Structure 1
């Protein structure tokens, strides 16, 4: 123990060691200095202990050598300092788990379910719905043009589903449903003849200021006189809408006949201009018309 104390004394006197411990000739002066140090403390140190202390210092027998860096040393350091960083790490881990769980259950899992549902819809749902709707169309009408239109929409819808274009496939399905509804409708088209409402109008085409287009304002009604909404496309701007009233383009002669009829007594004697039967796609007109229409007047 005394030898260890000697080494410790030498280690804390670094300047003394550097100056005195440089060879055998100076060891005596170093040992003398050590004797003086211990003498001031009232400790008598034997000569062999001084020799052992000097030798031990040279050999670094009592020197501390840190463990070299390694994975095991890092783990031990972390464990020893866990009280300092453990709470913060636990909080960070909890926050990470909370965020990860929110992302998984709130975003990733719903997105995966939506992807699987969309894939199933594209592979079986939409093609099956398209074919089923085609059968409903064929059951509602025997018109060759309706069959041809239904076949076209089914082919385009199935091609869109195979390409992954679900929106296009759904659009074709909606058109099939509209075709079936159009074929199932039955209504009468008659000229509007009420106080304060026009029964006909004429327009000057923008591309031909010298011409005039004549229209009868008509409405679709069922057998009880209730309005029926039908799809109509304006020939002026191509806008398509579902309406119960529109302007039907007729010849100037037909327009003049209706005008004179209404001027005679304020009543149109023959208001019915067309009949749409269930199973047909378009009305059968009783007036001379091109079938063109306008939506605003």
Structure 2
């Protein structure tokens, strides 16, 4: 393998020659400043040398001579006055960074510079606060603001369905309770009145027959021992609501034991012992309840018309 080399003409590459000419031949003040800074940098790299030589005048001259030799060894011709400027600058700390004194301005500046670190935390906290505010508004503020309109709307719809005076009186009672709660800033009371109106609206729109449960494997009646009188029994016949098409409905029923209203498909209606035993005998003779209709609820009324004796009290769990 042969290797070709360029003939040595004794000339330096053009870029290097131009660089040295710029450093050595230029008299531009900026070049001298840069050379002086380089002198200071050289002295800093030889920190021990500078510390021992700068305090003594004779030694300072020796230091300058050493600097000349250092630059000459690198092929750089640095004028004496530039070396003198660099040595003086080092003594005066001219090119040395001194941190600013502690003050409010510097603290604020440092906080700003480090915004990338604390900004994430602040952003996260602000995000959580905004999310909490949105949830608060959606869950509480907006619904509460809509309460008066909701009460009026549901009341109007229910009144339009009411088919008798009893239903209308009940609706007016619920609506009046809601308005009174609003005037007294009783949000929970207004919400309760709205729920009562909504339940009444659902009930008014339903039409069904009350049919006694009479399916294999399912109970027809239950009895309970009340907590306040353990010597007594409360009897209940289990029923379901069947609309004119034969579909079993889910109906809002108030549980007399808990006071809560639940929407259920089967519930128990309270009867006396005689009615309870009569239904039991009807089922026992052949396993079928011939007289299985308990009552009927027409559209537009809140209370069914019962064919059997009942207090109207109900339970939804047993």
Smaller-chain TM-score range?
Answer: 0.5 to 0.7
For structure 2, the residue ranges without an aligned partner over 5 or more in a row are: 1-98
Residue aligning to 1:155: 176
Structure-2 separation of matches of 1:89 and 1:234: 63
Residue aligning to 2:302: 281
* TM-score, scaled to structure 1: 0.60
Counting only pairs closer than 5 Å after superposition, residues 1-297 of structure 1 correspond to structure 2 as 88-92=110-114, 107=129, 111=133, 125-297=146-318
User: Once the 2 structures are TM-superposed, how far is the Cα of residue 263 of structure 1 from its aligned partner?
Assistant: 2.0
Judge conservation of contact 1:122–1:162 (CA < 8 Å) in 2: no
User: Once the 2 structures are TM-superposed, how far is the Cα of residue 182 of structure 1 from its aligned partner?
Assistant: 1.0
Deviations, residues 11-69 of structure 1 (Å, cap 9, x unaligned):
xxxxxxxxxxxxxxxxxxxxxxxxxxxxxxxxxxxxxxxxxxxxxxxxxxxxxxxxxxx
Residue aligning to 2:81: none
User: Once the 2 structures are TM-superposed, how far is the Cα of residue 236 of structure 1 from its aligned partner?
Assistant: 3.8
Tell me the number of residue pairs that the alignment of Structure 1 and Structure 2 aligns. 220
Change (3 A) 1:180 1:240: closer
Structure-2 separation of matches of 1:156 and 1:208: 34
Structure-2 separation of matches of 1:206 and 1:120: 43
Structure-1 separation of matches of 2:142 and 2:260: 35
C-alpha RMSD of the superposition = 3.8
For structure 1, the residue ranges without an aligned partner over 5 or more in a row are: 1-76
Residue aligning to 2:48: none
**Bigger shift: residues 235-244 or 283-292:** 235-244
Deviations, residues 199-252 of structure 1 (Å, cap 9, x unaligned):
223334444344333322211222233221222233344444221212222222
Change (3 A) 1:225 1:244: same
Change (3 A) 1:156 1:101: farther
Change (3 A) 1:111 1:271: same
Residue aligning to 1:74: none
Change (3 A) 1:282 1:96: same
**Bigger shift: residues 261-270 or 165-174:** 165-174
Structure-2 separation of matches of 1:117 and 1:266: 52
Change (3 A) 1:235 1:163: closer
